Structure 1
């Protein structure tokens, strides 16, 4: 950031903006090799060549007042581990210093150094993010600051299209992953106040990319990935970025294997100086056996005794019954400049996830011997569909000496989930000495799921007001409507107006402070499968959050953030009748710290920590009052650093440390799983062979092979995965 407190112009930003055989013939992943190169290379996203803050504030230019910079498609130098701007929700295009909320960004450089292949791989760098219920083999069930994310409405592509998180999420085609924490109703409508996760697709940059990556690991996995990026046309008006991967997967659990594959394309077309089109497509497939969740035993005298942590390499379930899933997401966006100061954006998208699932729990066991029972749930024909349309206009104008950037929009999202039936089976098993499961016995009565229809629509308006060259005020309001219907449950039709407001001040050109108030419109999700009202949509609710924070850039190389937050949320829990319902209020407050960027010329790091004080304030069950909500740690912390060895160009070493504190297994705090620190280590070397850039990389996950509980929640415990050595080799053509 340079200049006396100037800010990036939001409107200016909006205007700049057999598998393997087939895919290798069509396109050939560059990400590992690009990040491994010791020299700075152009970012793969389309951005202005100006540094953040180099443009004038709203209504202020060096030459023509109110004139925006012409559209350019150029490369911006890599920011390494430190984000330059934010691309999520109402803050799209803002310099990170000007965002009056906690937004954590995991950059492409971080994901490359770590060799990230899944969503939690990236988000473990974000304070307060924890696994929920599952160990992440099939997909990543996540919570932020102790609040569970909604798999149907908390995850986004390019900040616009909600996608369903019931399938593996590839990271190889993502430029960055952002987490907007806390309430986000202004832009997204009804969603849980934990926050939203935004995955930004890679796009074609100024430099062409053609590369192939070979994948392998110590469990026996192997695969290949390709990446192709080009700009073409007389004025480089066309851009295409294609990524693909196909991998045979051997997990750290003996006998648990499967596959995962994806192909994606990001296209853009600058039709004229006023009109630009973008299209994103992603197809994902995966097949893997889900390890059984372990059900805590019934409490005795208010205390649950947990079993010893079982061997994480032993499969408890049948390896003949994998969960198979696929997902197709596509998003079309048009950006049109009405004038130098006004633009309109239109987007339409659809995401469909299909899944044939075998879910397993281990229950009713003897603590001493480990003998117990498996319950299998077969759920074929699951489908989750999101359809989304949004129209938005943004304009810059002045009222006397005060500059404004006004945004007005209307959006509508339709969510549909059709009928399916759950069939139950049982089998004998031993937690400590598992045997192969060769026979399943039908058990109980099949449970039908009736189709759900949800419509989340709204109209919103917010004004970004530059009161002075240093002081900015953002005020907004949204009128939302939430409609849901499902056979056998009450229909809902709820309308609500939610306000938000924030104030930010530049203490210096590189340091800002802010305060904000936001209300969340929460769909509250649906009841878990273990409840008597399984999958029922809960009534909508309102959460409220206050936050104050400070951010600073250090030597233009690192971003440091500190925030204090307080959120009050209506809470849901399973009551004495096994009904999952809204029955109280919880409070989540704490302090969060993060630093990202270059500490020295040769050392980059990303570190974060949060202290969280979460309490149940009131409940229909008085035994829950004052307790910590399930799966909520008081402390989480992460540290990842990379050292580029100066005496040997192209060589870098890295290490990570990820801590999650003790967590209660249920909201009655009847037992806690212990805290755990997981370590990683890595080595990368980039060089040239026969004129081609080549990189070799090794990453060691769970380096100490620690045995630990990785997740709690929804009356299940998950065991963390064992040590794995991951290897990649990339050639750039």
Structure 2
């Protein structure tokens, strides 16, 4: 087999290109090959030669990309001649390099984590060799493990600009970012996006009270605060609206990211806990085709086709197409979820300096609303007891549905005008249509859930609603570099604008005790249930959509990342201005607020592989519409959050793994507290004075608020992820979360912890390669566990037993997997996976619905899943 070598460097031009491909000349190839082999095996350069450097420190800007492209750009920018075997470089990735470096120091950063080293072969020439070949001789330049790149193991964090919008690699970013790759998600057997998020320690998802059902909509909490509202869901780093708590298709994703802490600087109004980013699949230069099929012991089934590669010989036009369908059968009767998705993307990349991508995704999710498995009886001789029904009992109608269809369009472009000036732009548009119908136990009689009659019949009601909406946003970032004496600056100027609008119908309700009794669904017999469709589904669509509600976000930000002369210390100074405007159908309740949000960070490299940092940031989030203060004016002052974080990041295992540890404190103030005494009873909106009139403050039904609430969340987080040895990959994270209502007029909650938020959370997944043969492939074993400490519901006045809340016991779920990879099937790679979720069949409950609280939603039982993936 022919050995190929390449050289990259300034001043060599062939066919108008600023580099020479030595394959083009057989004579030159033989000469350089002989030189390379001699340098590796016989003539290792002397120490003096190894220390020779091209003159001077240069400003170098190479973004994360494939290693071939990074080496080409480095050679063009520095004049360094780089020789290497194509087989050593193809398929590897680089984290790039940004800053002022000597050319060979920059090369070390470009190669970090790739398993390659280099040796000096001349004053301005080097040759790449595998790290194992470099040996310990004087002629070898030993690489630090500064970058996280290379043939990235499935669990190794990938480059991301989510936290800083710069080329800083994750291990040099002064904020906490968690990542789960597509391969990790699939190997763990995550059943939904919510399960993926909950496997980041300290991130929880809580079922919504809405009738659309917990399988479609859940509240996602990070560091104790919900991220489901405002614009805290990002797709490819672009903000979208109204979907953070909605189900998504994993088949469209190549990674899920969580940025912890305030992000108002870049993304406008947001809660201080963090933001979630869904990284959609992008076209790749190398052709790759994947076919996947799966099933499980509950009768679920599904599959995916994912194909990517170049559309022309020059690889300037790339494509990606991913389509998937699943039918997931729940372990409760008649409950299922059926997502279908198609993603298409085109990338135009005429040069290494310019790239633009257009992405479209169609997502259709159909499911049956899962609200409760059982409830406490609220009247009669069995009051306080659960209905005598089995765990998998279904209370609904056969045509109960939650349906959502979403169209998402994304565009982004990057133009590196020069090494000192880069422009990035993006635009997104998303629209959706949604409707739901849910049949539930009729609990509207004022005395709790009704007791069965003598025959075992329990009354029910049906509710439903339809809605539609759309959103769009645009954004642009301009980045560059300059020097001020010995200080090096990487600056950023950016901004964006977003608009969202939506309408929904009033709730169509039918039961024997509610309006529209002629359309009632009828009771269900708990001893002999008979299931049928609700025949009046058309009532949901006959209910007209209401007036349109809108919101707009505008933001602008400035940032400077300053490298100090010691080349080990960096300071980030940033500030962003954001304006949030709610435009409801009632113009009197319009809410417009703006705020500056600063961000400061200090980073110091204790060693090339260990960084310590401290950061501070702020956020803001609007208060709910329609709230009045004591003077009768609508409240427009936003809630404000601030976070202090200290941490360290360590790269190890030859750059293939990263460990992070951090401590933080978040304070969220301007929380609305009712002016009336908490013991005076519920606020009665009909008794409240009109806007502009003074409140009577008699403690009964004034519906007025003051912004004196303070919530605090503080804790510690530890995570390690990557390939630890040649046979062991894994990810493990632990979060300790201490939350408190520090200031509140709700005396039952004062000084107590947030509901549904466990104090301790541990998540671990490991994959061990146990057997590998060239003829039969590789066998691996996966084992993982997730632990949550006990949780509780909302606080209230003591009941008869003196309890102020209800508790969920601590529990641990264990998952396992058996994988057979690299099976050669006619030149194609086959992978077979067997996963077991909840290996020990642990009984547990949804974090919001648990036995002491009066409603049970069971956690998933043990499930065996089988999948086969063919790649070529």
Smaller-chain TM-score bracket: 0.7 to 0.9
CA distance in 2, matches of 1:373, 1:155: 39
What does 1:388-407 correspond to in 2, within 5 Å? 388-407=473-492
Post-superposition Cα deviations, 1:258-306, rounded to whole Å, max 9, x if no partner, equal: 522100022211134443211121111111101124798799xxxx989
Q: Is the 8 A contact 2:673 2:745 kept in 1?
A: no
Q: Quick check: 1:347 aligned with 2:347? A: no
Q: Is the 8 A contact 1:310 1:719 kept in 2?
A: no
Question: Corresponding residue for 2:815?
Answer: 680
Q: Deviation at 1:14?
A: 7.3
SS at match of 1:292: coil
What does 1:23-172 correspond to in 2, within 5 Å? 49-50=93-94, 52=95, 55=97, 57-62=98-103, 76-116=150-190, 118-134=192-208, 136-151=214-229, 153-163=231-241, 164-165=243-244, 167-172=246-251
CA distance in 1, matches of 2:424, 2:551: 25
TM-score between both structures, scaled by the size of structure 1 = 0.84
Question: Corresponding residue for 2:683?
Answer: 577
Q: Deviation at 1:724?
A: 2.2
Post-superposition Cα deviations, 1:41-77, rounded to whole Å, max 9, x if no partner, equal: 977xxxx843x4x63x423352899xx99xxxxx941
TM-score between both structures, scaled by the size of structure 2 = 0.71
SS at match of 2:186: helix
Q: 2:503 aligns with which of 415, 418, 430?
A: 418
SS at match of 1:83: coil
Q: 1:12 aligns with which of 62, 65, 68?
A: 62
Q: How many residue pairs were aligned?
A: 680
What does 1:17-416 correspond to in 2, within 5 Å? 49-50=93-94, 52=95, 55=97, 57-62=98-103, 76-116=150-190, 118-134=192-208, 136-151=214-229, 153-163=231-241, 164-165=243-244, 167-293=246-372, 312-359=391-438, 362=441, 363=443, 364-365=448-449, 374=460, 376-380=462-466, 382-416=467-501
Q: 1:457 aligns with which of 554, 560, 563?
A: 554
Q: Is the 8 A contact 1:243 1:264 kept in 2?
A: yes
CA distance in 2, matches of 1:128, 1:371: 43
Q: Is the 8 A contact 1:516 1:546 kept in 2?
A: yes
Q: Deviation at 1:121?
A: 2.9
Q: Deviation at 1:139?
A: 4.2
Q: 2:742 aligns with which of 577, 598, 617?
A: 617
CA distance in 2, matches of 1:296, 1:560: 44
SS at match of 1:645: strand
Post-superposition Cα deviations, 1:570-626, rounded to whole Å, max 9, x if no partner, equal: 346898338898762210011111111223221111111111110101123222211
Q: 2:767 aligns with which of 638, 642, 664?
A: 642
Post-superposition Cα deviations, 1:183-204, rounded to whole Å, max 9, x if no partner, equal: 1111101012221111112223
Q: Is the 8 A contact 1:421 1:449 kept in 2?
A: yes
Judging by fraction of residues, say which structure has more strand. 1
- Unaligned runs of at least 5 residues, structure 2: 1-57, 68-86, 111-148, 512-520, 627-633, 686-702, 797-803
Q: Deviation at 1:506?
A: 0.8
Q: Is the 8 A contact 1:15 1:337 kept in 2?
A: no
Which deviates the most, 665-674 or 101-110? 665-674
Q: Deviation at 1:689?
A: 2.0
Q: Deviation at 1:707?
A: 2.4
Question: Corresponding residue for 1:20?
Answer: none
CA distance in 2, matches of 1:309, 1:640: 38
Q: Deviation at 1:524?
A: 5.2
CA distance in 1, matches of 2:89, 2:759: 40
SS at match of 1:121: helix
Q: 1:560 to 1:368 in 2, by over 3 A?
A: farther
RMSD: 3.9
Q: Is the 8 A contact 2:584 2:590 kept in 1?
A: yes
Question: Corresponding residue for 1:22?
Answer: none
SS at match of 1:567: strand
Q: Quick check: 1:554 aligned with 2:638? A: no
Q: Is the 8 A contact 2:404 2:432 kept in 1?
A: yes
CA distance in 2, matches of 1:398, 1:377: 64
Post-superposition Cα deviations, 1:96-124, rounded to whole Å, max 9, x if no partner, equal: 12111111111233113113352123223
What does 1:482-501 correspond to in 2, within 5 Å? 482-488=580-586, 490-501=589-600
Post-superposition Cα deviations, 1:297-353, rounded to whole Å, max 9, x if no partner, equal: 799xxxx98969985533232231111111111111121222221011111111223
CA distance in 2, matches of 1:310, 1:506: 61
Q: 1:658 aligns with which of 777, 781, 786?
A: 786
Q: 1:15 to 1:209 in 2, by over 3 A?
A: closer
- Greater RCO, CA 8 A, separation 6+: 1
Q: 2:830 aligns with which of 679, 682, 694?
A: 694
Q: Is the 8 A contact 2:673 2:744 kept in 1?
A: no
SS at match of 2:228: coil
Q: Is the 8 A contact 2:257 2:278 kept in 1?
A: yes
Q: Is the 8 A contact 2:490 2:562 kept in 1?
A: yes
Post-superposition Cα deviations, 1:217-238, rounded to whole Å, max 9, x if no partner, equal: 2121222210111123342111
Q: Deviation at 1:366?
A: 7.0
Q: Deviation at 1:494?
A: 0.8
Q: Is the 8 A contact 2:356 2:412 kept in 1?
A: yes
Post-superposition Cα deviations, 1:518-543, rounded to whole Å, max 9, x if no partner, equal: 0012235789xxxxxxxx99863211
Judging by fraction of residues, say which structure has more helix. 2
CA distance in 2, matches of 1:10, 1:666: 54
Q: 2:844 aligns with which of 693, 708, 711?
A: 708
Q: Is the 8 A contact 2:410 2:427 kept in 1?
A: yes
Question: Corresponding residue for 2:15?
Answer: none
CA distance in 2, matches of 1:564, 1:186: 21
Q: 1:95 to 1:392 in 2, by over 3 A?
A: same
Q: 1:377 to 1:41 in 2, by over 3 A?
A: farther
SS at match of 2:215: coil
CA distance in 1, matches of 2:103, 2:475: 34
Which deviates the most, 405-414 or 652-661? 652-661
Which deviates the most, 392-401 or 419-428? 419-428
SS at match of 2:507: strand
Q: 1:347 to 1:269 in 2, by over 3 A?
A: same
Question: Corresponding residue for 1:26?
Answer: none
Give the structure with higher Rg (CA): 2
Q: 1:16 to 1:501 in 2, by over 3 A?
A: farther
